[in-house]
Structure formats: C-alpha cells, structure tokens
Chain A
C-alpha cells in the first residue's frame, strides 16, 4: 500500500500526558498537512509543511501542539499536557506541489483523553 500511513490508529491517554503521532506521506509528495476533526464536523487545518519547512500554523493552535518533518519525509505531531478538549481524530494528508492538487489522507489517529 503506497497511501498515507498514520500511527497509531488509536491512542488513549490520561489528561496531562504527552502524546506523539506519526505520519508517513506518499513518497513523492512534498506537501504535508495536519488536521483535527471532531464528530460531525469537517477537518480543521492545523499546520502545513513544504518539504521540511513548516510554512503555516493555524492561529487557533495552542502552543502545546508542535509538529516536525525533519527530513522532508515523515512527520510527527506532538501534544503536550493533553486536555479533555484534545480528544479528536488527527488526520494527516499529503499532496504534490502545484495549485489545485488533491490532498490524499491517511485514516487518522483517534485520540481519547481520560
């Protein structure tokens, strides 16, 4: 399977703990995106990478959230000191360079905060 891969698929943790998610994009895609999605809503943009450079971060994103894409390949999203409101599906997508390209999504990591 050469699609976008996300790990883990599910994460349950206690409030206050740190969590880290991983995304492996389609290999030839240089753009990578992170989204958060809650039940009954569309995905909410979190951040965007072009190769290893983080070019945009949502103003709604707390400082507890950080993302990296160290070698322009896989990416990690870390949430520090998790809160109840962080419970959501975290989606990763990738796309080739160029306007109007479709974003290809992974199946997400579902985070549940106890």
Chain B
C-alpha cells in the first residue's frame, strides 16, 4: 500500500534555531516528492518539488533532501522565524499518476519567541 509517514508529529523550537522534519514513504515507483507548508486555516503552499533523480532542493531557508534508495526525505529549516509556525506536509507523486498524489499527515511546527 502506498503510504507517506512523517515524524515527528509535532515539534516546538525556539525562534532562530534550526530543525529537520522527516518523511518516509513506500510509494514505488515514484515520480516526484514535494513539501508543502500549510498555515492554520489556509490552503497548502508548495515549498519544493524534487524528481526521483534529485538529491536536494532549496527554497530560501528551506532545504529538502531525498534519498530514493532508502525512501526517505527531510526538510531542514534554518534560522527559524515565528512565521514558520505551520504544518509541513510531505507528498509523493506516484509514477503512474500525474495528479493523484499521496499525502502525509504533516508535522506541526511551533516556533516560540
């Protein structure tokens, strides 16, 4: 069964600190892996999209990594800001579908001043 699992479920860190969120998936074969940020009460916003052949992609203070051999991805946030408080969702695009993505449940990140 195609699944995407994220850890931790929730995380609290102090403003200015770095953090890393984890994503493990069983989707195979897969075409791409995405990270989305979702603020409370808002729709998700795309942070990064990596194809299966890419190892890393950055978007400002956000850096995503991908290890297709171990089926793991991580999202690293550098120098966290209060506005980073949100849910971060890992999403995998199966090879056999351009649109039916497999979504994780997300990691809820809280940044404290």
Contact = CB atoms under 8 A, between A and B. Distances in A.
Contacts of B34: 102
Interface stretch (A13-21, A40-48, A63-71, A74-82): A40-48
Given A43-B44, A100-B49, A100-B93, A48 B104 contact: no
Interface residues of B, number: 24
B3 to A, nearest CB: 11
B33 to A, nearest CB: 10
Interface stretch (B14-22, B69-77, B94-102): B94-102
A4 interface: yes
Contact of A108 (B32, B43, B99): B43
B46 A104 contact: yes
Contact of B31 (A40, A93, A100, A110): A100
Interface in B21-47: 31-32, 34, 41-46
Contacts of A102: 34, 46, 49
A99 B49 contact: no
Contacts of B82: none
Contacts of A91: 43-44
B105 A41 contact: yes
Most buried by A among B34, B44, B51, B93: B44
A43 B102 CA distance: 9
A27 interface: no
B46 A103 contact: yes
A56 B100 contact: yes
Nearest to B9: A40
Contact of A45 (B100, B105, B106): B100
A102 B41 CA distance: 20
A56 B51 CA distance: 23
Interface of B: 4, 31-32, 34, 41-46, 49, 51, 89, 91, 93, 97-101, 103-106
